[in-house]
Structure 1
């Protein structure tokens, strides 16, 4: 499903129409934790993204 969406978006937003596409994926995350007398609590998560080479994607 996701591959079809990426393929459709790349077709709609082509370079010939003046668009450039950059695909990013999350590969890690930072977490902010709070520790108190009642245990540890997750306050926030921040995903860390990296750019993926579009030509390396297997969209077929």
Structure 2
């Protein structure tokens, strides 16, 4: 095996390992952003529900 072939194989292995970690970090970040978005949507729904509930109870008393 030639010296350049060894460096090519090592380069491919290093590229795969780096890509693996980059994709893992990217998916983790995407999951965090999606979770944050879901929390924001639920928070807005709960806010408006509570606001409507308290408005309705103010009118009855």
Say which structure, 1 or 2, has more relative contact order (CA 8 Å, 6+ apart): 1
Bigger Cα Rg: 2
- Which structure is higher in helix share? 2
- TM-score above 0.5: no
What is the TM-score when the length of structure 2 is the normalising length? 0.25
